[in-house]
Structure 1
Amino acid sequence: MFLALDRVGLRYPGHSAATAATTARAGTGAQAVQQLSLSLTTGQIGVLIGPSGCGKTSLLRCIAGLERLETGRISIAGETLADASQGLHIAPEARRIGMVFQDYALFPHLSVADNVGFGLRHLARTQRAERIQEVLDLVGLAHAAKRAPHQLSGGQQQRVALARALAPAPRLLLLDEPFSSLDVDLREHLSQELRGILNRSGTTALFVTHDQAEAFAIGDVVGVMHQGQLEQWDAAYTVYHRPATRFVADFIGHGVFTPGHIVVGPNGPEVQTPVGALIDAEACALASAYPGGRCDVLLRADDIIHDDLAPVQAQIERKIFRGADFLYTLRLASGERLMAHVPSHHDHHVGEWIGIRVNVDHVVTFPAA
């Protein structure tokens, strides 16, 4: 593996061992990251998502060398950068790691080209100019080389920051919510651009975001963090369709847990739910997996289909207009709540009863809460 983190743990900045003992007794905990392990292959793009305060940025700072490990080991291309057991800590400037922050941190008094070349002063003038031209071409800003940062749009400034980070040819690029200050449409556009730029340069990268759509658009592999722990580290498709924990299932996408009962049907195990029986030969658990076969089933909004001819009826409790569709919150007559994406031309009123049916490709079950 190119990047390897093995059982990494670190405290929040400013927490001493005594503070850690006190907070542990109080049940609050002082570790920003707890026994976290992950890896990336060369050229792979990893993305970390999770709620605020879950340790994403702390982990990036740890990899960059800005924070010291309390436990574990970090290595890149076989070289150990930090090892808590040996007291080893390579300085940030010696790690050959680039970092792009939320704020662009561009030098306002320097041109775009000089901003990009800031970390290349060790090169001869000709080599420096060639490298600046190369990375500006890569990010599509060669035409703006002589401009000042304030003469560029927010998206262009972010691409300058990316070019500056790529210019020294880092072994690893870390990006901490670099698009958070941009509007939604620009973020979507730049996330696609970023993936293309990193792929063309062959750069291995670890990206932090709170935007799930952004994570799925950029990442080859996606990690979900919660309270300093990595709940799942897998391909985006697997994280969405096969969540490893109840937290991941609840955090990713729009969905709810509804009671289910696993029984043996004519085609094998099936899960009986308030909206019908669910069958998934690959993932449907045996009834013996849960006491009495009782479980909770994850039903996402895209699993519920609006169908006026369906026998199951649900009342609209809330609706959110999202342009192409509505996100409906529904309540069954039995009291269970569901969510559904419904095309926006199906504009029903709150309080109205509509027909629904379930269409689940992947049955995801957990122990009953």
Structure 2
Amino acid sequence: MFLQLDRVSVAYGRPGQGKAAVSAASLSLGRGQIGVLIGPSGCGKTSLLRAVAGLERVAAGAVRLGGELLSDHASGVNVPPEHRGIGMVFQDYALFPHLSVADNIGFGLAHLPRRERDTRVAEMLDLVGLAHAAKRAPHQLSGGQQQRIALARALARRPRLLLLDEPFSSLDVDLRERLAHDVRAILKQIDATALFVTHDQLEAFAIGDLIGVMQHGQLDQWDDAYALYHRPATRFVAGFIGHGVFTPGQIVAHPGGPRVRTAVGELADVDECLLPEAYPGGACDVLLRADDIVHDDEATVKACIERKAFRGSEFLYTLRLATGEQVLAHVPSHHDHQLGEWIGIRPQVDHVVTFPREN
């Protein structure tokens, strides 16, 4: 692997008395891959990024890039940030207002001959699609264009690894997702390796090959988006990713394989290793996502619409069963039922995800 973090911890304050910001986080990225760290505010994702950059010393563990040891608490190795070959893009762009767009991109290339520097700047402007804006001042560009210039400036030095700390947070929601797709295409075009930090799931899904979910300094899962959604490793990941609820279930033996009984029906697509004795008495909590519940007027299970949110092509319904359990459902928007109305629902679960019962 090109980037490797082996049980990295970061702490602030005096040694032995500091507050742990990251605890024993491990992850890896192949050359040309894009990784994303997401999680709630204060979970440690930016601290982990800063440790990779060398802006924070690791309190434990090691960081390697391209086989080179950058940080290692055990041996005391700590390569200075400027010698790591790492580029950074920040959320505030950090463009120089008194320099043109072209001069901003070329700012870190003073060591190159003039002709080579001009060629590199032109290449970067073409890469981000802003060759026409070379002579403009940063304030004459939109927020999305300024972020592209910040990206071009970081890439101009041809870093081994690019780190981006919430680079789209100051932009509106629609622009963030569009720019995330554009930035992914730019990075893939030049086979760049990058590690992002964001709090936006859609942004993470749009840009990342691998995504890490963090909470309280712990990296709960490092996986692709599909696995995070359908095979969450922890209850926190299951609740944090996508729309879903936990409902009580009972694991029962069945000739065709184990099943889980729930208030919305019996779920059959269960891992064969999930036997009734997996949890005390077979009692568990089942993750039901909005796309696991289908609106069906002929279904025997009925639910009352408590809330609905219009999403264009669909509604997100919050439903309450007669037994008291709450579930969510995506329903095509032409099925415009009223609050308080009872509708038929049935489960359509391809991946049954269970966790120990919470009281």
Instruction: Report the TM-score when normalising by structure 2.
Output: 0.97
344-353 or 249-258: bigger deviation? 344-353
**Within the alignment, does 1:264 sit opposite 2:253 as a pair?**
yes
SS of 1:237 mapped into structure 2: helix
- 1:135-175 alpha-carbon deviations (Å, 9 max, x no partner): 11111111111111111111100000000000000000001
Task: Report the equivalent of 1:53.
Answer: 42
- 1:178-218 alpha-carbon deviations (Å, 9 max, x no partner): 11111122112111111110001111000111111111111
Code of the residue aligned with 1:323 in structure 2: it is: G
- 1:209-233 alpha-carbon deviations (Å, 9 max, x no partner): 1111111111111110010010000
Gaps of 5+ in 1: 21-29
Distance 1:283 1:208 in 2: 37
Task: Report the equivalent of 1:16.
Answer: 14
> How far off its partner does 1:17 sit?
3.2
2:317 alignment partner, one of 316, 328, 353: 328
219-228 or 85-94: bigger deviation? 85-94
Identity %: 70
Q: Is contact 2:318–2:328 with CA below 8 Å preserved after alignment?
A: yes
Gaps of 5+ in 2: none
Q: Which runs of 4+ in 1 moved over 6 A?
A: none
Distance 2:272 2:94 in 1: 48
> How far off its partner does 1:293 sit?
1.1
Matches within 5 A, 1:84-99: 84-99=73-88
Task: Report the equivalent of 1:101.
Answer: 90
SS of 1:340 mapped into structure 2: strand
**Within the alignment, does 1:4 sit opposite 2:4 as a pair?**
yes
Task: Report the equivalent of 1:346.
Answer: 335
2:159 alignment partner, one of 170, 174, 190: 170
SS of 2:306 mapped into structure 1: strand
Matches within 5 A, 1:152-231: 152-231=141-220
> How far off its partner does 1:35 sit?
0.6
Code of the residue aligned with 2:74 in structure 1: it is: S
- 1:271-301 alpha-carbon deviations (Å, 9 max, x no partner): 1111111112546711121111111100001
**Within the alignment, does 1:82 sit opposite 2:71 as a pair?**
yes
SS of 2:258 mapped into structure 1: strand
Distance 1:155 1:54 in 2: 27
> How far off its partner does 1:57 sit?
0.6
> How far off its partner does 1:88 sit?
1.6
Distance 1:182 1:341 in 2: 28
2:130 alignment partner, one of 141, 144, 149: 141
SS of 1:317 mapped into structure 2: strand
Distance 1:6 1:191 in 2: 28
Structure 1 residues 284, 333: CA separation in 2 closer, same or farther (over 3 Å shift)? farther
CA RMSD of aligned residues (A): 1.2
SS of 1:265 mapped into structure 2: coil
Matches within 5 A, 1:243-262: 243-262=232-251
Q: Is contact 2:166–2:197 with CA below 8 Å preserved after alignment?
A: yes
> How far off its partner does 1:94 sit?
0.7
Task: Report the equivalent of 1:337.
Answer: 326
Structure 1 residues 217, 134: CA separation in 2 closer, same or farther (over 3 Å shift)? same
SS of 2:352 mapped into structure 1: coil
> How far off its partner does 1:322 sit?
2.1
Structure 1 residues 230, 283: CA separation in 2 closer, same or farther (over 3 Å shift)? farther
- 1:77-103 alpha-carbon deviations (Å, 9 max, x no partner): 111111111222111111110011111
> How far off its partner does 1:323 sit?
2.2
Code of the residue aligned with 2:239 in structure 1: it is: D
